[in-house]
Chains A and B, each alone.
Chain A
Amino acid sequence: MSVSLLLQSVLSGLTNGFVYGLVGLGLAAIFRGTRIINAMQGDFALLGGITAALLLERLGWPMALAFACAVAVGGIAGWLMELLLIRPLRRRGGSEDSYLLLTLGVAFAVSAFVLYAVGRDSHSLPGLGGEGIVVIGDASIRTHAVWLIAISLATMAGLRLFFAKTALGLSMLAAALDAEGALTTGINVPLMRTLTFALGGLVGGLAGILVGPLVTVYFDMGLLLTLKGFAAAILGGLANPMGAIAGGVTLGLLESLAIVTVSSGYKDVIAMVILIVIMIVMPNGLLGRRLRKGG
């Protein structure tokens, strides 16, 4: 195995890993603030991606404006999701299973809605930095992928600061950890939960515009993204946004290194076996324990 091949696999692993991590980040943010596993996180990305594609293709909006609007659509979708579906279910005493089933059902509904309203065609999104590549030694990475990594890291850091340092973030955490206690201190718990979903939706919308240029945006891309994001979030520690990124990058690198060291045919088997070992040794995920000590 040559150095350039190893370097290429690391760059490719980082690209895929940050895609998984970015979806996992939204999942972790929602779980942290509501204790709900949101199976439609990938569909927030679908909504963001398809919004950007339509605004660019059909209305000719400037890229920055279309992308900003796409992220906002993700946030609005999250807001509506909590307000119209999660909250009534909670009022009726919904269990963890019922939330999972609800979000899974909405994921299918969103996919079907996009299919009905937009059609089954794939839509390309322009990348940040166009089609340019950054050459490192004999390996290369797309300029857009570098932006994806940078924005993912910034989002992760921003979320960490938000939950640790801001009154709103702390209120969201309090509402999730002890709703009754939070109520007695004057925190508007239902609003905090709605805002948490909106936040998860914003991160999902961001994932949509960042993943779209790497693949294409199409109506049933959501569930596939959710599955990888879920694996990343579980591996990193579900309640820790930083863990989701760490989990995603670990997963991406494991897959990529399995390709160059063994075979692309056994990539998933090798990556998953290592993941199982990690989960047995560290059942709370890579960064899960640290959060619990702090919490």
Chain B
Amino acid sequence: MTRIFVRVLFGLLLLASCQAFVAAQQPTSAPIKIGAVLSLTGPGAGLGGPERNGILLAEKRINERGGVRGRPLQILIEDDGSKPDIAKSKAEALIHGEKVVALLGPSLTASTGAVATVTNSLQMPELCMTGLGPAIESSYKSLFHMLPPQTLNARAMLEYIAKGLKAKKLGVLHDSGYGQLVLTNIQNLNKEYGVEIVAAEKFEVGATDVSTQAAKVRAAEPDVVGVIATSPVPFRNARQVRIVQPIVSAVGSSSYEYVKGMGEFADDITFAEFIVAEDPLPHQKEFVDYFHKEKGTLPKTYDAAGWDATHVLAQALEKAGPDAGGEAIAAAIRANRYRGVVAQYNFAAADMTGIELDSYTYSKLVKGQYTRLPFKAGK
């Protein structure tokens, strides 16, 4: 009888200690509030939606693993409608109303600039999902970029065009938003790579048919065609007017949604991007597997940027302490050499992101499927 009693007591003690261990792994204290201002509607929705996916997934994963210093993260997400003025007012509401300790986002360069004027004056850390924008951003001490500047995106495309394809004549078909930004940077760099731009044709975002522009590019007889847009239409039209040259595109155009919209024309298109989820690099595998398990789909760069931003912030909060204040948290972010899913970051770099060309991955659409290319930029 005594033996049974001892065994039961031992069992109960073991159970209690297990519960205590599990409880220790679960965040128990008040949540750490983090604000996020993203473009969930409007022209930037194609970016903000995936970024939100990555942020929410990272929040879940971090909290599953015990949160930050035993406290869970609580990320409050607001939609700026792709408008800078709304982004600024939403950021102010999160900072002053919700008392968040840091901000994630915005998704667009103009909105980043608007929000940064607020976060800079308060020295509040802001991890935006854009590349370096206007020159004034370089003077901000609490702003960090999760994506490369457009000049690096342009350079990554030219690397492949000049070194991978050995092409000399480039024709460009681009939209008036994202495409125009990348093209402007290509025009600043093309001579350095010995590439001549023989045609550059523009169309408005949301255009229904750009065959005329595509035909003009074709008539210029380029060796390679750059299509830079946030829509599948120009890719389809380029092939429909029988542009048979290889097409090279930028990270912002790489999306499963666009591939679906390209239909049978999603072939022989190369993207200078950061993640090929069908064939992830070792440091990307955990994220890709977790994303696939939770969402049932595969992630792309903007999903990964949201994931990385949340993890960078969580690490800084862990190091500096959630209540250390904006300046100390920003200093911890600056000191972190984070190996992210998107890239190797160095937030102390002049462009506040430190992404190098060797972080780019080149993928090629082959009959609608992304495949990784062996080409490496910067070599």
Contacts and interface: CB of A to CB of B under 8 A. Distances in A.
B is a partner of A: yes
Interface of A: 2, 4-5, 8-9, 11-13, 15-16, 19, 115, 120-122, 124, 131, 133, 139-142, 145, 211, 214-216, 219-221, 224, 256, 259-260, 264-265, 267-268
Given A115-B41, A221-B206, A140 B241 contact: yes
A13 B212 contact: yes
6 contacts: A2-B219, A115-B41, A122-B258, A124-B261, A133-B240, A220-B42
B299 to A, nearest CB: 14
A11 B211 contact: yes
A235 B32 CA distance: 57
B212 A8 contact: yes
B209 A12 contact: yes
Contact of A15 (B46, B208, B213, B216): B208
A19 B207 CA distance: 11
Minimum-distance CB pairs A-B, first 5:
A12-B211, A8-B215, A12-B212, A9-B212, A15-B209
A214 B209 contact: yes
A54 to B, nearest CB: 15
Nearest to A224: B206
A264 B201 contact: yes
Contacts of B203: 264, 267
Q: Is the interface of A mostly helix, strand, loop or mixed?
A: helix
B267 to A, nearest CB: 12
In the complex, which of the residues B40, B211, B212, B261 has the most CB atoms of chain A within 10 Å of its own CB atom?
B212
Contacts of A5: 212, 215-216, 219
B211 A264 contact: no
A4 B215 contact: yes
Given A131-B263, A259-B201, A121 B213 contact: no
A211 B233 CA distance: 12
B41 A16 contact: no
Contact of A256 (B204, B212, B260, B261): B212
A144 to B, nearest CB: 11
Nearest to A215: B208
Given A12-B210, A124-B263, A260 B42 contact: no
B235 to A, nearest CB: 12
B204 A268 contact: yes
Given A2-B219, A215-B231, A264-B203, A8 B260 contact: no
B202 interface: yes
A9 B215 CA distance: 8
A215 B206 contact: yes
Contacts of A145: 209
A219 B233 CA distance: 17
A243 to B, nearest CB: 21
B210 to A, nearest CB: 7
Interface string B195-230: 000000111101111111101100100000000000
A124 B204 CA distance: 20
A264 B213 contact: yes
Contact of B261 (A122, A220, A224, A260): A122
Contact of A216 (B204, B210, B232): B232
Contact of A120 (B49, B201, B207, B213): B49
Contact of A264 (B41, B216, B241): B216
B16 to A, nearest CB: 45
A259 B213 CA distance: 7
Contacts of B40: 120
B257 A139 contact: no
Given A115-B41, A120-B40, A131-B264, A260 B210 contact: no
Interface string B248-279: 00000000011011011100000000000000
Contacts of A19: 208-209
B257 A121 contact: yes
Interface string B39-66: 0111001100100000000000000000
B268 to A, nearest CB: 16
B271 to A, nearest CB: 18
Given A8-B241, A19-B208, A145-B209, A264 B219 contact: no
Contacts of A265: 202
B242 interface: yes
A140 B257 contact: no
A267 B264 CA distance: 29
In the complex, which of the residues B203, B204, B240, B242 has the most CB atoms of chain A within 10 Å of its own CB atom?
B240
A122 B257 contact: yes
A289 B201 CA distance: 38
Contacts of B260: 122, 124, 216
A106 B233 CA distance: 28
Contacts of A12: 209-212, 215
Nearest to B180: A265
A131 B236 CA distance: 9
A4 B241 CA distance: 11
Contacts of B208: 15-16, 19, 211, 214-215
B261 A216 contact: yes
A261 B207 CA distance: 19
Nearest to B50: A120
Contacts of B49: 120-121
A145 B212 CA distance: 14
Contact of B233 (A141, A215, A224): A215
In the complex, which of the residues A8, A220, A264 has the most CB atoms of chain B within 10 Å of its own CB atom?
A264
Contacts of A267: 202-203
A208 to B, nearest CB: 13
A130 to B, nearest CB: 8
Contacts of A11: 211
In the complex, which of the residues A12, A142, A221 has the most CB atoms of chain B within 10 Å of its own CB atom?
A12
In the complex, which of the residues A219, A221, A259 has the most CB atoms of chain B within 10 Å of its own CB atom?
A259
Contacts of A216: 231-232, 257, 260-261
